[in-house]
Amino acid sequence: GQSLEQPSEVTAVEGAIVQINCTYQTSGFYGLSWYQQHDGGAPTFLSYNALDGLEETGRFSSFLSRSDSYGYLLLQELQMKDSASYFCAVRPISGNTPLVFGKGTRLSVIA
Amino acid sequence: DTGVSQDPRHKITKRGQNVTFRCDPISEHNRLYWYRQTLGQGPEFLTYFQNEAQLEKSRLLSDRFSAERPKGSFSTLEIQRTEQGDSAMYLCASSPTGGHSGNTIYFGEGSWLTVV
């Protein structure tokens, strides 16, 4: 089976940098994805790491270390609109199961 | 708008009634997924289709739940004899096949179900 652990809540100041961690237990997976979801909205894709290392997309970066079963999402120059829930997700190699999501981290950006 | 669309967006129903949700995926996507999400939780996988074939069903999908994608385009999710525990947001998503595309799926806005 697969399980992903994330902190349930994080609070950070506008303009700052925040890191949201994701640790996982899985027998094998294609890569680590990150999704953002605003209250009442749909989850939207942010980033994907197929390989170990850092992927950068504008203010957002994502990191994966398969040897440490660990990844993170890094948000820089935080803006109020970044207040949302962030989910890490993996797609297992075995079987036909598509993306398995963590429980999410609720980020609150304060002035 | 060419994104994933879901209908209805909100549904309030009495316990024991049947409800049906519809999802229209992005037109060129042949994979379609149904997830369920409750407050404070991540999306939980229910089932998915590749074209009209239902390839996987979660054990969360009890006998009261049935999903179809008859022509490989839109899909319906029916819940029979609804229970209060079925209250959740039902999310539909789609993706193309091949490569790492299954890691990037595109969600609709969801259908909120409240069973009273």
- pLDDT tens string A26-40: 878 889 999 999 998
**Residue A95 and residue B43: Cβ atoms within 8 Å?**
no
Cis peptide before B8 (omega within 30 of 0): yes
Q: Give residue B103's pLDDT.
A: 76
Nearest to A48 among B91, B100, B108 (CB): B100
Q: Give residue A96's pLDDT.
A: 73
* Interface contact B41, partner A, CB < 8 A: yes
* Interface contact A1, partner B, CB < 8 A: no
Q: Give residue A102's pLDDT.
A: 95
Q: Residue B100 phi/psi, 5° resolution?
A: -100, 20
* Interface contact A42, partner B, CB < 8 A: yes
**Residue B104 and residue A45: Cβ atoms within 8 Å?**
yes
Establish, for the pair of chains A and B, how many residue pairs have beta carbons separated by less than 8 Å.
Answer: 64
How high does pLDDT run on average in chain A? 93
The residues in A 44-103 lying below 8 A from B, measured between CB atoms, are 44-45, 48, 50, 87, 89, 91, 95-103
The pLDDT of A64-82, averaged and rounded, is 96
pLDDT band of residue A72 (cuts 50, 70, 90) is: very high
Top residue of A55, A99, A106, A107 to mutate, by most chain B CBs within 10 Å, is A99
Asked whether the predicted pLDDT for residue A88 surpasses 90, the reply is yes
Q: What is the CA radius of gyration of chain B?
A: 13
Q: Give residue A1's pLDDT.
A: 66
Q: How far apart, in whole angstroms, are the C-alpha atoms of residue A42 and residue B106?
A: 9
| Percent of chain A surpassing pLDDT 70 | 99
A8-32 pLDDT, tens digit each: 999 999 999 999 999 998 878 889 9
Burial of A58 (0-12, 13-18, 19+ CB in 10 A): exposed
A98-110 pLDDT, tens digit each: 899 999 999 999 9
* Interface contact B99, partner A, CB < 8 A: no
Q: How far apart, in whole angstroms, are the C-alpha atoms of residue B66 and residue B68?
A: 7
Q: How far apart, in whole angstroms, are the C-alpha atoms of residue A80 and residue A76?
A: 12
Q: What is the mean pLDDT of each run of 10 residues along chain B (116 residues)?
A: 90 98 94 95 94 89 93 94 97 84 86 98
Q: Is A62 helix (H, G, I), strand (E, B) or coil?
A: strand
Q: How far apart, in whole angstroms, are the C-alpha atoms of residue B113 and residue B20?
A: 10
Q: Give residue A94's pLDDT.
A: 79
Q: Residue A11 phi/psi, 5° resolution?
A: -120, 135
Letter string b/e over residues A9-48, b meaning 16 or more CB atoms within 10 A of that residue's CB: ebebeeeeebebebebebeebbbbbbbbbeeeebbebbbb
Q: What is the CA radius of gyration of chain A?
A: 14
Which chain A residues are within 8 Å of B33, Cβ to Cβ? 98-99
